[in-house]
Amino acid sequence: MTDSIALGSTKKYSVSIIGASGYSGAELTRLLLRHPLVKLNELYAFSQSGASVAELYPALSCDKVYKPYGGETESDIYFLALPHGEALQLVPALLKAGKTVIDLSGDFRLKSVLEHEQFYKQTKLPDAVMTYGMPELFHDEIKSANAISNPGCFASSIILGVAPLFLGCDSSKKVLAINCTSTSGISGAGRSSKTELSFSEMSENIRAYKVGVHQHTPEIMQALGTSATSPSFEFTFTPMIGALVRGIYSVLNVQLDSPAEMDEIKELYREFYRNAPFVRVRDSMTEVKHVYRTNYCDIHIAHATTSGSLVIVTAIDNLLKGASGQAVQNMNIMLGIDETTGLL
Amino acid sequence: MTDSIALGSTKKYSVSIIGASGYSGAELTRLLLRHPLVKLNELYAFSQSGASVAELYPALSCDKVYKPYGGETESDIYFLALPHGEALQLVPALLKAGKTVIDLSGDFRLKSVLEHEQFYKQTKLPDAVMTYGMPELFHDEIKSANAISNPGCFASSIILGVAPLFLGCDSSKKVLAINCTSTSGISGAGRSSKTELSFSEMSENIRAYKVGVHQHTPEIMQALGTSATSPSFEFTFTPMIGALVRGIYSVLNVQLDSPAEMDEIKELYREFYRNAPFVRVRDSMTEVKHVYRTNYCDIHIAHATTSGSLVIVTAIDNLLKGASGQAVQNMNIMLGIDETTGLL
Amino acid sequence: MTDSIALGSTKKYSVSIIGASGYSGAELTRLLLRHPLVKLNELYAFSQSGASVAELYPALSCDKVYKPYGGETESDIYFLALPHGEALQLVPALLKAGKTVIDLSGDFRLKSVLEHEQFYKQTKLPDAVMTYGMPELFHDEIKSANAISNPGCFASSIILGVAPLFLGCDSSKKVLAINCTSTSGISGAGRSSKTELSFSEMSENIRAYKVGVHQHTPEIMQALGTSATSPSFEFTFTPMIGALVRGIYSVLNVQLDSPAEMDEIKELYREFYRNAPFVRVRDSMTEVKHVYRTNYCDIHIAHATTSGSLVIVTAIDNLLKGASGQAVQNMNIMLGIDETTGLL
Amino acid sequence: MTDSIALGSTKKYSVSIIGASGYSGAELTRLLLRHPLVKLNELYAFSQSGASVAELYPALSCDKVYKPYGGETESDIYFLALPHGEALQLVPALLKAGKTVIDLSGDFRLKSVLEHEQFYKQTKLPDAVMTYGMPELFHDEIKSANAISNPGCFASSIILGVAPLFLGCDSSKKVLAINCTSTSGISGAGRSSKTELSFSEMSENIRAYKVGVHQHTPEIMQALGTSATSPSFEFTFTPMIGALVRGIYSVLNVQLDSPAEMDEIKELYREFYRNAPFVRVRDSMTEVKHVYRTNYCDIHIAHATTSGSLVIVTAIDNLLKGASGQAVQNMNIMLGIDETTGLL
């Protein structure tokens, strides 16, 4: 984005959220209400239209009323937090009107329409792609973009956990295989009324699902420079939900083609993330609690062997670094202001 | 019931459950599958018809398939665990066919059709009343009955907590007022798909509801020898749900007309419950954990003052002593066998 | 405090916390790190001395190291979050050095040394009393004070729930009795290693304790203008802990001497709290979730009868409005800045 | 064991538990109290000596009092549920006295004293080995044994999940690597008073630990016919604890040397476990809830690829199939009675 501003300026950007009544939308609302350079404008929602934020989310203490979205373009910036497929319909008009757009759905993440169809069971046009908003990998592209596709929650926790092995300058090792087991908080399933997500069903429970076929697979492969259709390494992903509301905890078993030295790997990661304010490469084990209600991604190299086997553990808050926090981080970068504004 | 049998006999009673796929129905299934004198026959369900127990409740490891109920009367005993209002339609035919009936709904609890209409928003005929199945109060009536209305979960935890003050032989004190605050596990709301009962909403949460108007109020008053319409004491009931699946924890603030001595009250309770195998009057504080997955009702007299103020704390498992466990206890009494059979 | 400053001023107050490593201390740390007019100075702790905040509370992402407190007085403001009894030793020297003090313990709350001895099993001198820091009741006293005793967590949720009945201008009714049942999150017991507070013991559990003898009783009575020793109304308090980390949910059964009209009570409450930014008198039921991680106290008048019986439900976050949030609110008032600074 | 008896016989075996006051001991107590062929004799405990079962575990409703163990040998069968290292001292005398012994610790599991020293940091003699009590693998050895070393909880969930690939008759494929991520309920850490296991720390949390060095590693390798020191395949194990009390959920990423056909693998597993009453090879995804409070091990083949990559998911209750349930299953087999007695 071109009009960067100095922090401390009195100018505030007007921001609206389309799809504001879900958990990601509510978390965006919370973050934007206290962002010093933002004036939160309209909150659009569909089934909850007419309700106030205060009714649905009393902890936010916000009197705004959800409205149905009718194509308005009066704000500077639009966040979209809609079910998959819906942003595809709305974004083109917003872009045409010159708006800055950050979309939290999967609609504009994949360059391959074939992979999009395979994993989302939806068709889309080849130009339905926007800059992939993972600041630690694509900072410059984000800075100059006016439209961002915000990464998926699982994808964020996985890509950040292995990216240095693929994209780090000094990485002379080749990744042969990654087995990934990620446990998500139940809020990741959205503000839902499914029996299988009720307290009575999920307390004292853990459940895997979509093993090997989760829709975040292709964006992970794409971000790492390969593809789901013709991958450069064997990738197996087992997503799970557990008895917690927020958080994603990923255990990444990586097989390298050569021996792995713990110190060497740590150094590679530290170097790769040296300018990333929200990634912490930690010497001791991380936990969901360590990143709870923060925008941090914690990474711990837990195990490294002479046979080239690594265990990397990452933790994020799925609603922050995995969704709304990262979306605001992307907005900050696009606005040319400090990346951490409103997020610490 | 007339045909009592000797324990150890090889004769087994055939039992069916109508409304078997909800949480109370599943808990009944679990109990009856290992009851030594029962042959579990049919499991009737409506929306889940066609599914097997193993699909809905794999922990039960039972291959039976839920069927729609079409008026069959081939079993000796019928448990009904249906939404309020539905048993009213089915019970008359079962009784006409000479079946033993235990209904877990509120349909047949209240003698007063006016109170039934007020609290359940449904009409019923004056004869739609069955013996109130609280064994500690109405053991003899239950023993000779062929149809039982099983108490409500909150009602069980409250009635047992104050009954000795009303019905105990030596109780010379008069109860002026009871304020009751009861927290239930979320399974009490049934196998539900409501957003407000999702894990994301109920974790780290407590919520009161129906304050002063809960439908268990009139059965509590009736069991204590008075009525909701013209009560002999001031009664205020605040039901709540908390972040647990099972259990009801009731705090009963009782105002007596004369000073209360702790020892005297304890003695009154111990005497009242001396033949009740599932009521434990405890010297130390009780907790939900103490009765979890048991048919016990724990009672602790926590406070007694010279101004006649008492605090009594009770704990039950809402699906056992508050529903299915008590239902089986009633069946045992009706069959003339040891009350605890299949429940320890 | 005398030196009030204009918001926006560049001057920052230096603040230290004594007893910073517990849950209240950590929450204070979090709040003060982002308070615009505070420079967080030293964090004093005892058993955790030498550890860094980042080790104990990685989510805070703060590199400060806990130090043992040796009588330093270099900061402008001192918060004390120590076990009961310890602040009694440290506060006199801080006051002598002209420091602003906010103590979160019970040491300086009670004017009656007799009641202090009875409930805390400790002696103290008659002058060991500081202004009771409940802003909604004692705003002016707090504004001119240089030392504050911050209310207890249960006490906050209870006093705010009934204060208008005692202190409201138009309150012509007399309170005869209050029965209070309050469920607290387990963080209220501190950063503990007791078996009885382990996850395995407290999941799916609720436990009452100290029924009728909890140490918050006398400060509640004192704040309402009466005393525990010679109370103007019957007060019975049942504290409980439940399966949640944060939050206090209080159900207050109030018996008035005359009929209670719902609208009249609501109006009394709204009028009483019209200038209180953190108290919300709500028309619909409140829940712990509504105030989770906020400094709000929600109040809902749930029931009112012609016999003068009221049910009032309140919800707070025990670590915020019940401890550290209220402490910062008190600091803001003492500093003469907007009460809500750093708390929204 | 030689003296097998017919089910239905009136003879009961007298059984004592040494180390009865922990969670495994309590679960053993619960199971043995209702086992039809057992007379529960003494409950030995150390720190809890003098307390009654009813005090520590009111849900068990058992009046027995824990005693210190002083070398008594009056029972037929001894279960030991002690901290690692303690059974090494007690078992020899019990065996010398001709007793049947089932030890739940790791003391007698490993044949290799070197691996024992490496993983348990304790020395032991080469003959300190007893039959490994995994009925699905070593049924005949268990049947003729008089002393059993009961498998570890994680080990049970992992070995059962991959054993058919190693020990199945038709398994022509070679396992090249297994990456295992297992989440345990917190009860697995015992009846603990560690701060890191408190409700406040573990609610909404997940934490990995001992990555690659967990002490269950060598028994897993040994049971699969290889060794930790010189393994026939690459094995990486990441144990975790999550926000649940009971259960172990293991995700096993297996790399085979040749393509894997889903149906072929399922058939291999079904055939291998055709006589195993407590292993269920399921067509649909399993969850902790499915095996909660049961002795089942559920196995689901979730993914199989032409590149020979498998994802196998297993679920057990850590206190039952992972400890006390399996111990009773072993006892049943040793006694020559139906394996499932007292466990359904």
pLDDT tens string for chain C (344 positions)? 434 444 455 689 999 999 999 999 999 999 999 999 999 999 999 999 999 999 999 999 999 999 999 999 999 999 999 999 999 999 999 999 999 999 999 999 999 999 999 999 999 999 999 999 999 999 999 999 999 999 999 999 999 999 999 998 766 789 999 999 999 999 999 997 899 999 999 999 999 999 999 999 999 999 999 999 999 999 999 999 999 999 999 999 999 999 999 999 999 999 999 999 999 999 999 999 999 999 999 999 999 999 999 999 999 999 999 999 999 999 999 999 999 999 99
| Residue of B62, B153, B180, B297 with catalytic role | B153
- For β-strands C297-304 and C309-316, DSSP reports them as antiparallel
User: Distances from the Cα of A266 to the Cαs of A303, A304, B24, C199, in angstroms?
Assistant: 11, 10, 53, 33
Residues D142, D253 within the same domain: no
CA distance linking residue B78 with residue A152, whole number of Å: 51
Residues of D labelled as active-site residues = 153
Residue A239: φ, ψ to 5°: -80, 145
DSSP A82-139: --TTTHHHHHHHHHHTT-EEEE-SSTTT-S-HHHHHHHHS----TT---EE--HHHHH
Q: Which one, of D52, D103, D46, D41, lies nearest residue D74 by Cα?
A: D41
Residues C95, C230 within the same domain: no
B186 to chain A: closest CA residue:
A200
- Residue with structure tokens 């440290």? C90
Burial of A94 (C-beta count, 10 Å sphere; 0-12/13-18/19+): buried
Residues in chain B within 8 Å Cβ distance of D289:
58-59
- B-interface mutation test, from D290, D296, D341, most B Cβ less than 10 A away: D290
Q: Which one, of A62, B293, B119, lies nearest residue D319 by Cα?
A: B293
Q: Is C76 helix (H, G, I), strand (E, B) or coil?
A: coil
Q: Structural domain of residue A197, as residue ranges?
A: 154-318
Inter-chain touch C242–B245, beta carbons under 8 Å: no
CB of C59 less than 8 A from some CB of D:
no
Count of positions (residues) in chain A: 344
D316 to chain B: closest CA residue:
B59
Q: How far apart are the first and last CA of chain B?
A: 23
CA distance linking residue B285 with residue B274, whole number of Å: 20
Q: What is the pLDDT of residue A1?
A: 43
Inter-chain touch B58–D282, beta carbons under 8 Å: yes
Residues D198, D52 within the same domain: no
CB of A196 less than 8 A from some CB of D:
no
Which segments of chain A are extended strands (E)? 13-18, 38-44, 77-80, 100-103, 131-132, 147-149, 175-184, 206-208, 234-242, 248-256, 279-282, 297-304, 309-316
What does the pLDDT look like over D303-320, one tens digit per residue? 999 999 999 999 999 999
Q: Give the pair of three-digit tokens for residue D278.
A: 């407590």
Q: Contact at 8 Å (CB) between C53 and C43?
A: yes
What subunits touch chain C, counting only 3 or more CB pairs under 8 A?
Answer: A, B, D
Residues 6 or more apart in contact with residue B48 via CB below 8 angstroms? B21, B56, B66
H-helix or E-strand spanning residue D17: strand D13-18
Separation in Å, CA of C315 to nearest CA in chain D:
19
- Domain-embedded: residue A3: no
CB of C291 less than 8 A from some CB of A:
yes
What subunits touch chain B, counting only 3 or more CB pairs under 8 A?
Answer: A, C, D
- D-interface mutation test, from A204, A250, A262, A293, most D Cβ less than 10 A away: A204
- Residue with structure tokens 């079409």? B70
Q: What is the pLDDT of residue B5?
A: 47
Q: Which one, of B232, B176, B252, B241, lies nearest residue B210 by Cα?
A: B241
| Residue of A62, A153, A180, A297 with catalytic role | A153
- For β-strands D248-256 and D175-184, DSSP reports them as antiparallel
Extract the residue ranges of chain B whose pLDDT is less than 50: 1-7
- Domain-embedded: residue B70: yes
Q: Is D234 helix (H, G, I), strand (E, B) or coil?
A: strand
- Domain-embedded: residue C299: yes
What type of residue sits at position B230? Answer: S
Separation in Å, CA of B205 to nearest CA in chain C:
5
Q: How far apart are the first and last CA of chain C?
A: 23
CA distance linking residue D30 with residue A146, whole number of Å: 64
Residues 6 or more apart in contact with residue A16 via CB below 8 angstroms? A40, A41, A42, A43, A44, A72, A74, A75, A77, A78, A79
Separation in Å, CA of B118 to nearest CA in chain C:
17
CA distance linking residue A334 with residue A147, whole number of Å: 9
Residues D230, D106 within the same domain: no
B23 to chain A: closest CA residue:
A200
* CA diameter of chain A: 61
CA distance linking residue A320 with residue A341, whole number of Å: 14
Mean pLDDT of D253-260: 95
Residues C17, C45 within the same domain: yes
The ipTM (two decimal places) reads 0.95
What does the pLDDT look like over D43-69, one tens digit per residue? 999 999 999 999 999 999 999 999 999
Q: Residue A89: which CATH number?
A: 3.40.50.720
What type of residue sits at position A289? Answer: K
Inter-chain touch D206–A253, beta carbons under 8 Å: no
Q: Give the pair of three-digit tokens for residue B271.
A: 């005497």
Residues A75, A209 within the same domain: no
- Domain-embedded: residue C77: yes
What type of residue sits at position A193? Answer: S
User: Distances from the Cα of C100 to the Cαs of C32, C138, C178, in angstroms?
Assistant: 15, 17, 36
D200 to chain A: closest CA residue:
A289
Inter-chain touch D298–B58, beta carbons under 8 Å: yes
Inter-chain touch C286–A344, beta carbons under 8 Å: no
Which segments of B10-111 are extended strands (E)? 13-18, 38-44, 77-80, 100-103
- For β-strands A175-184 and A248-256, DSSP reports them as antiparallel
Q: Give the pair of three-digit tokens for residue B318.
A: 């809402």
Q: What is the pLDDT of residue A192?
A: 78
C/D interface, count of CB pairs below 8 Å = 67
Residues D162, D310 within the same domain: yes
Residues in chain D within 8 Å Cβ distance of A245:
204
Residue C143 CA from chain centroid, whole number: 17
Residues D170, D255 within the same domain: yes
- Domain-embedded: residue C7: no
Q: Which one, of B251, B243, B249, B181, lies nearest residue B209 by Cα?
A: B181
- Domain-embedded: residue B342: no
What is the helix, strand, coil percentage profile of chain C, to 5? 30, 25, 45
What type of residue sits at position A153? Answer: C
CA distance linking residue B198 with residue A258, whole number of Å: 47
Number of domain units in chain C: 2
User: Distances from the Cα of B43 to the Cαs of A238, A275, B29, C94, in angstroms?
Assistant: 36, 63, 8, 73
Residues A253, A159 within the same domain: yes
CA distance linking residue D284 with residue D297, whole number of Å: 14
- C-interface mutation test, from D21, D24, D186, D199, most C Cβ less than 10 A away: D199
Q: What is the pLDDT of residue D172?
A: 77
Q: Give the pair of three-digit tokens for residue A206.
A: 């853990």
Q: Contact at 8 Å (CB) between C327 and C79?
A: yes
Residues in chain C within 8 Å Cβ distance of B177:
255
User: Distances from the Cα of D94 to the Cαs of B233, C255, D17, in angstroms?
Assistant: 64, 66, 12
Residues A65, A198 within the same domain: no
CB of B47 less than 8 A from some CB of A:
no
- Domain-embedded: residue D242: yes
Residues C60, C202 within the same domain: no
CB of B204 less than 8 A from some CB of C:
yes
What type of residue sits at position B336? Answer: G
User: Distances from the Cα of D103 to the Cαs of C179, D326, D333, D336, in angstroms?
Assistant: 52, 11, 15, 19
H-helix or E-strand spanning residue B176: strand B175-184
**Side-chain-facing half-sphere of C144: CA atoms under 13 Å:** 3
Q: What is the pLDDT of residue B169?
A: 74
H-helix or E-strand spanning residue C206: strand C206-208
For the sheet with D248-256, list strands across it. Answer: D206-208, D234-242, D175-184, D248-256, D309-316, D297-304, D279-282
Inter-chain touch B282–D34, beta carbons under 8 Å: no
Inter-chain touch A181–D251, beta carbons under 8 Å: yes
Residues D147, D178 within the same domain: no
- Domain-embedded: residue D74: yes
H-helix or E-strand spanning residue D129: none
Q: What is the pLDDT of residue A4?
A: 45
What does the pLDDT look like over A273-290, one tens digit per residue? 999 999 999 999 999 999
Q: Give A 243-282 residues with CB within 8 A of chain D.
A: 243-247, 249, 251, 253, 255
What does the pLDDT look like over B239-277, one tens digit per residue? 999 999 999 999 999 999 999 999 999 999 999 999 999
- For β-strands A147-149 and A131-132, DSSP reports them as parallel
Q: Contact at 8 Å (CB) between D44 and D69?
A: yes
Q: Contact at 8 Å (CB) between D124 and D107?
A: yes
Q: Residue B264: which CATH number?
A: 3.30.360.10
Q: Is B76 helix (H, G, I), strand (E, B) or coil?
A: coil
**Side-chain-facing half-sphere of B30: CA atoms under 13 Å:** 24
Query: Does A7 have pLDDT greater than 80?
Result: no
Helices of type H across D57-131: 87-96, 113-120
- Residue with structure tokens 């505030």? A12
